[in-house]
Amino acid sequence: MKLDDTSPGDIEWRIEVTQRTCVAGNYTYKNAPKCACSTIKRALWFTEMELGRFTRAREDAYDGEFLHLVNDGTPFSNVAAHANETFIFTFTRNPYERIYSAYLDKCVRAAITGSILPMLRTRLGVGERPVSFNEFLTFIASQRDRNRDSHWATMYRTTAEDVLPSHFIGAVETLSDDLNKVYARIYPGLTPQIENTNQTRGIVVAPPPTEAELRLLFEIYRSDFEFYGYSDKPELSRAPPLHRPKY
């Protein structure tokens, strides 16, 4: 897949955003926003606590900033140089569900709570008036992928598959089974504690996407649909991928 920017600076930015490395556990988790990332990082954090590698209180795992301590600071260059010696994994989600979830979270709920991203406040006036899903998609379409926020950039770019291919790509649609497969590799004999405390649907309400909006979304994220094997049929938006990438 061809990206619109593969400069060293762009690559470093993408890795800085996504990389969660644990040398002690000999793994690198590539975090894809809006793909159960908080749930996955929390599960990893709980397991690290069980193993005695971190000693903070369990409640601290619900602090968004504290979750980043799963990353032990290993630079990307070290991970890339020893990619065959560490287990690299990521999780993806059907783009229909992922981007609508981003809209509910970053536009609808954020307008209520006041936690607006500056670019949305400036470009869309979020917080001052309701913003439709179509306006959100049109805003995304106006940006180059490299300039998009990680919550709505393509998953392929965000997880840097072009420069640091994953050994395993799980799916949110089969989260429990796939995370158990990851654990069999990085934490043999242990079971992940899966606690989703970041659900947007059902809490934040907005009109469902129209057919025209779904077509626009597909055109923006066609590369993710194709690379990760998701169906282009909206009625299958919560179904597992039809196929997984092979390297």
Model pLDDT for residues 37-53, shown as the tens digit of each residue: 888 988 888 888 888 77
Distances (CA, A) of 107 to 32, 101, 117, 197: 19, 10, 9, 19
- Which residue type does 73 have? G
What pTM value is reported for the model?
0.82
CA distance 185 to 187: 6
**Mean pLDDT across the chain, nearest whole number?**
79
Distances (CA, A) of 217 to 27, 165, 213: 33, 25, 6
Q: Of 214, 224, 220, 222, nearest to 32 (Cα)? A: 224
How far from the centroid of its chain's Cα atoms is residue 210's Cα?
A: 24
CA distance 203 to 238: 18
- Which residue type does 127 have? G
Please give the pLDDT value at position 89: 92
CA distance 203 to 209: 17
Interhelix angle 211-220/133-141, nearest 10 degrees: 20
Residue 127: pLDDT band with limits 50, 70, 90: low
Please give the pLDDT value at position 165: 87
